[in-house]
């Protein structure tokens, strides 16, 4: 079964290829920030799924007989003043500020996942809980300068922990069904949705 990935993420494409899927990448053009108010009014789960649905809908118009896979991830930090949404940083200073917020805390990565073929659309949610050790300001700045993590919510990529020369990972634990969820494409959930899609169409 060929999958059309509605994303420009090289990490999600790599996960699909590694799992043996035949993949075509077709990134949608949508304004992801337009729904930011939904984070407070409807919650991270609803926001993540709706963003994925909109991505899938755009790409499905171009691939009407194929299976479209779309996902979106919303990062959430719980604070005494309420939940705060993590976003993709626009500048190095923004990235450093987000990492300072994550230092010594546990945050959630909420994944909304959609598979669609024709008029049949299935959705699911995956949540990962990621705990950071306490970070120093100098190592935060050095990380941002070396890895430029501007393509991911929270300004951090789990795979960077394994990069050569990094002896002290930022992440101390990840709780979730599968680590692929940290990269924004939870593979066990995707497998279940694809199986259900085959039964439905």
- 149: tokens are 């993590």
Cα-flanking dihedrals φ and ψ of residue 27, to 5°?
A: -70, 135
Report whether 94 contacts 32 (CB < 8 A).
no
Closest CA to 80 of 46, 44, 105: 105
Distance between alpha carbon 156 and the CA centroid of its chain, in Å? 11
Looking at 72, 93, 162, 178, which residue is catalytic? 72
Element at 79 (helix H, strand E): strand 67-79
Specify the pairing of strand 82-86 against strand 67-79: antiparallel
Exposed/middle/buried for residue 56 (C-beta within 10 Å: 0-12, 13-18, 19+): buried
Task: Look up 94 and say whether it is catalytic.
Answer: no
Name, in order, each residue with C-beta under 8 angstroms of 7's C-beta and a sequence gap of 6 or more.
Answer: 13, 25, 27, 55, 70, 71
Instruction: Give the catalytic positions in this structure.
Output: 72
């Amino acid at each position: 079964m060929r999958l059309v990935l509605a994303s420009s993420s090289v990490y999600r494409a790599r996960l699909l290829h590694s799992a043996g899927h035949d993949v075509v990448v077709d990134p949608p053009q949508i304004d992801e920030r337009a729904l930011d108010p939904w984070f407070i009014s409807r919650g991270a789960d609803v926001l993540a799924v709706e963003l994925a649905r909109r991505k899938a809908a755009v790409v499905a118009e171009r691939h009407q007989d194929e299976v479209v896979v779309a996902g979106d991830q919303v990062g959430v930090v719980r604070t005494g003043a309420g939940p705060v949404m993590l976003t993709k940083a626009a500048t190095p200073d923004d990235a450093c500020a987000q990492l300072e917020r994550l230092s010594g805390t546990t945050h959630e990565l909420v994944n909304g996942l959609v598979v669609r073929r024709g008029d049949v659309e299935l959705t699911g949610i995956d949540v990962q809980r990621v705990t950071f050790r306490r970070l120093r300001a100098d190592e935060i700045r050095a990380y941002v300068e070396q890895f430029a993590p501007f393509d991911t919510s929270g300004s951090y990529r789990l795979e960077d922990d394994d990069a050569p020369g990094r002896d002290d990972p930022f992440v101390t634990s990840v709780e979730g069904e599968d680590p692929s969820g940290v990269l924004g494409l939870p593979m066990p959930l995707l497998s279940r949705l694809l199986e259900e899609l085959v039964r439905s169409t």
